[in-house]
Amino acid sequence: MFNPWQNKISMTTTELKPRPRLPDWLRIKLPTSDSFAHTHSLLEELRLHTVCESAKCPNHWECWEKGTATFMIAGNRCTRACGFCAVSTARPLPLEADEPRRVAEATRRMRLRHIVITAVARDDLADGGAEHFRKTVETVRELNPGIVIEVLVPDFNESDAAIETVLAAHPHIFNHNLETVRRLTPTARHRATYDRSLSVLRKVKAKRGGTVYTKSGLMLGLGEKEDEVLIAMKDLRSVGCDILTLGQYLQPTLKHLPVEEFVSPEKFEAYGRCAGEMGFIHVASGPMVRSSYHADEFNRTSARG
């Protein structure tokens, strides 16, 4: 029987493979300004988690140097054990009632014009943490009028009530990642399904139509084939997905799924062109792209169409 609190993937020592050497296009420069330290200190002071740290995002040096961060609410312990994700799988702690206020305060001090709010999967909660999302969005907006708010949510087990709770807070962008192609989903995404993720995005469009942008992302390099990527993009367009991100999967630790391919920048550019031709109004496609990387570059006036 599966234990939801076990480690991500159970591997013996002999099964662990050394990670391949990174190509030049994936090498990053460490920050040299005081902005990185300032952001780090602020997050520590307000006791906030970020997906930047918890998911070992390779871009957090750059983002923190710019004074931006993706806030991860509802704790840093996830109830799921996805094979690609560095966030800890463990029994979650109770929600912190003052966390929405602390996120809003950080947003105010950082003078953000665009905030991304994400969360671990909280299958232990009846609503999957949807009400906590709503409170956080509303508190951020109250303290920061005019800010663009993007939510990056789990699938809430496809609960209509949970989806409606988040939408009731009126985020500008509703983001839920498909993560990978259909064939690789059972391996990469524990307890999530390809069709459920598409259904979540379809329901958002059905409930709110043109009042909210929908967004999703794919990781490349897990062993997917080109035609599978194109099919996944078409599937996202079929449910009305507006915004797409495509980025390179990087193995967080030796216990996570291995990288099967380092996709070249040229191939990312080609995928990006295809996505634009399919009708996505905004596409970010490149090796270092992550779901919330440079999220503030999207706005209504820069959108295609």
Which amino acid, 181?
V
| 174 contacts 213 by C-beta, under 8 angstroms | yes
pLDDT at 288 (0 to 100) = 87
For the record, the structure tokens of 257 come out as 């799924």
Give the single-character DSSP code of 168.
Answer: T
Percent of the chain at pLDDT exceeding 70: 79
pLDDT at 110 (0 to 100) = 86
Closest of 7, 62, 12 to residue 39, by C-alpha:
62
Distances (CA, A) of 50 to 39, 53, 115, 134, 240: 11, 6, 12, 18, 29
Phi, psi of 87 (to 5 degrees): -65, 140
Give the single-character DSSP code of 179.
Answer: B
pTM beyond cutoff 0.95:
no
What is the spatial distance between Cα 300 and Cα 223, in angstroms, rounded to a whole number? 34
The domain segmentation of the chain, as residue ranges, is 32-297
Binned at pLDDT 50, 70 and 90, residue 168 comes out as very high
Residue with tokens 């307000």: 46
Q: 96-129: per-residue pLDDT in tens?
A: 999 999 999 999 998 888 889 999 999 999 999 9
Q: Which CATH superfamily is domain 32-297 in?
A: Aldolase class I (3.20.20.70)
Give the chain's radius of gyration (CA, Å): 18
